Structure formats: structure tokens, C-alpha cells
Amino acid sequence: MRKTSPVLSPVLQVVRARADATGARASPDAHAVAHAAGRVDAYADLHAGFRWRVPAAFNIAEACCGRWARRPGSEGHVAIAWQNEAGDSGTLSYAALQRQADGLARALVRLGVARGDRVAIVMPQRPETAVAHMAVYQIGAVAMPLSMLFGPEALAYRLQDSAARVAIADESSMANLRAVRGECPELQTLVAVGGALGQGDADWPALLAREVANDAPFVPVVTSADEPAVLIYTSGTTGPPKGALVPHRALIGNLTGFVCSQNWFGLGDPRQSDEVFWSPADWAWTGGLMDALLPTLYFGRRIVAWQGRFSPELAFDLLERHRVTHSFLFPTALKAMMKALPEPLRQHRIGLRAIMSAGEAVGDTVFDWCRQALGVTVNEMFGQTEINYIVGNCGGYVGRDGRRHAAWPARAGSMGRGYPGHRVAVVDDEGRECPPGTPGDVAVHRLDRHGEPDPVFFLGYWRNEAATRAKYTGGPATHATAGGAATPVYSGWCRTGDTAVMDERGYLWYQGRSDDMFKSAGYRIGPSEIENCLVKHPAVANAAVVPKPDAERGAVVKAFVVLAPGRQGDAALVEELQQHVRGRLAPYEYPKEIEFIESLPMTTTGKVQRRVLRLQEEERVRSEASAR
């Protein structure tokens, strides 16, 4: 029988036992201090006494499932409520989640997966996705979530670069995986799920049936907090996508932001709680995995899994049907919901208590609509895969008196302030903190304001130490051992690559990407991968991709294309190039607009000046708007 790890107790105290600062060790009640000082902004007091409590040994599967599954009544304690477009629905308890994870863990070990090996998980929101993550974590392997939207080329690169041994996929991605399997020599086994049964090397039900019949308890490996848990590829502006290697402890680093952005989610016994979480964010991305699925399970709450496309009508139906209390909704989703149903409470019984939004600015109109039409003030959040959930807002917290109090006021258009446990600043090129009102790079220090290590940081870019080193400014490197290998640990400031201004109260105001990366409808877009794909078409000599401002999506992908000799640019070629990209990458990456030009603006060293094209597009949009 598995024993509860003694190291979990301090982890729980980080965000559950203390209600004043999500883990403060010796802090006075923030509300009492703020009240005595005549303030309604408790931000400074929530920060003041906070201390991280990161155990030496920590495993995401144990924290998110194992400990809940061992508690009495876990058969009736729902972890996932699922629903799909075919009309099927059901629930999965924490006990069943653990049983299936144990069975899959045994199967993966039998298939040759060892500690540190990468396992690709290419599935949408469905119970098997959560089971796969728990199984991979508890054998000490590394989960590599990949979007079901990826085309063959995008999948092939990531599978090759990561040397993944096993891929678990359903009908949404199995065909693409089969198409590139011959290009991925390390990929030994395809596990088929759902509608893909019979199309892989092994079927999910057969694997679990064999292993679940084994009555012997599965004994998970004991992982250090610093061991790798997740490998997520992020798009870059130069070169191919980079794999961000995320350790188990990073989940702990996410928790203060999650709790705050959800207005003090997770207090009390989960079996007595009515808190339910749902987000349309794909669990293959950091936003869906680390901002929704894992933290919800960490607190033993119920999460809704919707396997299907998003629509405003569907969103309102899910919120009502599942009695969702907390959500993460992209600004694009909120805009669509606002337009589809300006007064939703006239038709739906919705009981939202918190909405977190990220990916782009919410904007005044949507901000006001959420407050007036849904009765919820949106908490905007900022983070990235490498250092997630670091900045944002918090509408309220529960003090040690058991009552709910205001935390710090959200300001429309602001990214928010650094969450407790994170030392966030705006820095210049030399790593010096900029004075208020001065634009600079948003950065997070490896040490919090008390001089203790911040657990939110990634381990580095997979097989790319140069890119990891370039992420940091102002500190020497030391070496640490994680998973049996010594790796450099950089100190000082970790730059996000986003430019912002910090005001005198610590609120951050977004200015734009420091490089050429951008967001479109909440998706992070890296020009390089799209440009490389375009250039592979015989009609294209060169290409540059930039964002074009768009009221609905924040930005759309626009490509400037230099044609190969003898080629003619017309509507038919535009359609052909769009389909070329759509079929190889992800649907959200194909250029919505293509403009044919004679040459691209270049630097004297031969680098494309995307900034020139981006500014040109921004000016065009402004001119068109003023001419209306």
C-alpha cells in the first residue's frame, strides 16, 4: 500500500492551510493589517510574509491524484466530468483515475519506457489525456503534450528532436502520426485511443485490461522536485521551435498565481467543495495543462473536459450544465461570448466566481461586460511556458477570519502585478531595474524578494544550452543534478521577451513583444516555423511573417512572399500557399493574408527586418480605420 509522502504536507500549506498569503509562514492577517492602515489594497501584505515550501522530493502525479485516490470515498470523488460532440458524457473519479494511471504506467514500463524518456500525448480534452499524464509522471518519464492541431511536419520535428519513445493518440492525430512515423526512428510504439483503435501498435483498452488485472500495487518512483516532468515546445522567431523542459516543482511555482487569479480557489476539504473548473484551453498547451488541468486536480476539485470545438453557445451551456464556478477564458472567447449573448443571465443560470484571462489584452469593453453581464471582474494574467503564472490580478482572498476580502484592484488594460513568491521587474539591456514609467523587458528573478529560490522556473531548453543561457541576465551559472544529469542553473533575471512599463504601484502595462513573436487568438505564433514552411513551396523564394492588427483576434498571421523566378502571384496561388501551411503545421498558423513583394527589407548582415513590415501593417490598419 502506498504511503502518503511526508513532504506533501508543507506543499499543501503553500496554498491551502494559510489563507492570508497562500503559504506565508509567519504573516499577520493581511486584511487586519490593511484595514488598520486604512487601505483596501492588500497586495503588499499578501506578499510580505510569503515563503515557498518546496520539498526535496515531489511528484505531480502524487500531488494531483495519488493522495486523493487513497482517501476514503475516493470512488465517489469526481476528478473529471467529460462530454463530447457526439453527446456522450460521464465522470471519472480520483480512484478510477489512479487505477487507470497505474495500469498505463505498468504498460509503459513493459513497452520499454524508462525514467527520463519522453512520451508524446497527442489528444484533446478527454479523460485518457489526464490518465496518460499521471501515468507518465509516476514512472519518472517526461510527458510531451502535442496539439491535435499539429500537421505532419510539426509533429515530425518535435518527435525527432525529443526522441520520444511512445506516442499516445486518438482519432484527431493518429493519421498524421502514422504518416511521419518512418521519419522518427526513436518512436517505437503508437498507442491508439478512442476512434483510433486498431490503427496503432497497441490499443488503450487492451493495455489497461491486461495491467489492471494485476492486483499487485504499482509503486511509483520517487522523483526530486527538480526532475523533468514536462517537455513543451514553444515557437521561436529564429530557428526551429524550442523544447522547454519543465520540472515537477514548477507546478508548485504556479499555484500562487492560480489561487490568486481564481480569487482564492481550493480552500477546505475538496469533498465538501462545490468548486468546478472549466477552460476551453487545449491541455496540450501550458495554458490548458498548468493553468487548468493540473492545478484543479492538485486541489482535488472537479474539472470539465469538453472534447469538441468551441462556440459561444456551447460555452454558456457548459457553464450552466456543469455548474462551473471558475474558468480560464481567452479574450477571444470572451469577445465571442459577449457578441453572441450580451445579457447571458437572462437565458442561463451561471454561477461564476472567478475568470482568469490571458494570451492578449482583455480590453475595456470586454472587461466591463464581464463585470456587468456575468457579475465577475476578470483577473488578467501573464506568463509563458518557461516561467508561467507570474503576473496578474486577484479580486479577493479569504482571511484567517474565514471571511472574503478584497485583494488588489484590477485595472483594465494592465497585465497586473507580480504574484506572491515572484520577484518581477522591468529591466534594461544590462539587467538593471527600470524606473517607473520606463519601458523595458519583463523579467523574473531566480530568487524571490526574501532571497529564496523561486520554483516556477523551467530547467532549460531541450538540447539548447545557448538559448537557455541567452534567457538570463546578470548572474553566474552553477550546476545542479536532476534526473541523474548535471545541468547548468543560471541566476539573475530571466527575461520573458515582452516589453512593458511598470507604474509606481507595481502594475505592468504591456507594450509588445521584445522580439518578433506574437499572439493570434490566444495562440503563440513564431514566424520562423511558418516562413520555413512557405519557403518549401516551389513558388516561394523567400518569406517573412508578421502580425496584422485585428479587432477580433488581436492579430492575424500575414505573410510577405517573394516569388521564385517565373512565378505569378494571384488568388489561386494565395489559396495554394495557405493550404500548404495549413496541411503541414497547425490551422491557426496559416497566413490569413499573403502579399507578394519584390524583396524583403534586410539588414546589412542579411537578416530580415520583420519590424519594418510589422510597423507598415500597423500604419495601414490605422489609415484604413481613420478613412472609414
Phi, psi of 276 (to 5 degrees): -135, 135
- 218 confidence band (pLDDT: 50, 70, 90): confident
Q: Which amino acid is at 272?
A: Q
Q: Which CATH architecture has domain 518-627?
A: 2-Layer Sandwich (3.30)
Degrees, nearest 5: CA angle 385-389-393: 150
- pLDDT for residue 484: 52
Would the pLDDT of 145 be above 90?
A: yes
Query: Looking at the domain 424-513, which fold is it?
Result: Luciferase; domain 3 (2.30.38)
Domains of the chain: which residue ranges? 8-418, 424-513, 518-627
Which of 164-173, 319-328, 359-368, 442-451 is least confident? 359-368
User: How far, in Å, CA of 328 to CA of 213, rounded?
Assistant: 38
**pLDDT tens by residue, 235-256:** 655 567 899 999 999 999 999 9
- pLDDT for residue 6: 29
Q: How high does pLDDT run on average in the chain?
A: 88
**pLDDT tens by residue, 330-348:** 988 998 899 899 999 999 9
DSSP letter string, 321-378: HTT--EEE--HHHHHHHHHH-SSGGGT------EEEE-SS---HHHHHHIIIIIS---
- pLDDT for residue 48: 87
Quote the cell numbers at residue 319: 457553464
Report, as an integer, the average pLDDT of 299-321.
97
Torsion from C-alpha of 264, 266, 272, 278, nearest 10 degrees = 100
Q: Which CATH architecture has domain 8-418?
A: 3-Layer(aba) Sandwich (3.40)
Residue 406, CA distances (Å) to 11, 260, 327, 340, 432 in order: 25, 11, 19, 31, 33
Q: Is the dihedral of CA 381, 382, 386, 387 positive or negative?
A: negative
> Considering only CA atoms, which of 68, 58, 109, 115 is closest in space to residue 92?
68
Q: Which amino acid is at 32?
A: A
Query: What pTM was computed for the model?
Result: 0.84
Strands 391-392 and 417-418: what pairing? Answer: antiparallel
Would the pLDDT of 71 be above 90?
A: yes
Q: Answer for the pair 517, 236: CB distance below 8 angstroms, yes or no.
A: yes
Strands 404-408 and 394-398: what pairing? Answer: antiparallel
